[in-house]
A and B are shown apart, each in its own frame.
Chain A
Amino acid sequence: MEKLNIMIVGVGGQGTLLASKVLGNVALKMGYDVKASEVHGMAQRGGSVVTYVKFGKKVYSPLIEKGEADLILGFEQLESLRWIEYLKEGGRMLINEQKINPMPVIIGKAKYPENIIEKIKDNYSNIITIDALKIARECGNIKTVNIVLLGLMAKSIDINKDVWIEVIKETVPQKLLEINLKAFEMGYNY
Chain B
Amino acid sequence: MIKVESISKSFGSLKVLDNINLNISPGEVVVVIGPSGSGKSTLLRCINYLEKIDDGKIYIDGKLVGKKEINGRLVEAPAKEVYKMRENIGMVFQRFNLFPHMTVLQNITEAPVLVKKVSKQEAFKQALQLLEKVGLDEKANAYPAHLSGGQQQRVAIARALAMEPKIMLFDEPTSALDPELVGEVLAVMKDLAKEGMTMVVVTHEMSFAKEVADRVIFMDEGKIVEEGPPSQIFTNPSHPRTREFLVKIL
The reply to whether chain A is a binding partner of chain B is no
Interface residues in chain A, defined as those with a beta carbon under 8 Å from any beta carbon in chain B: none
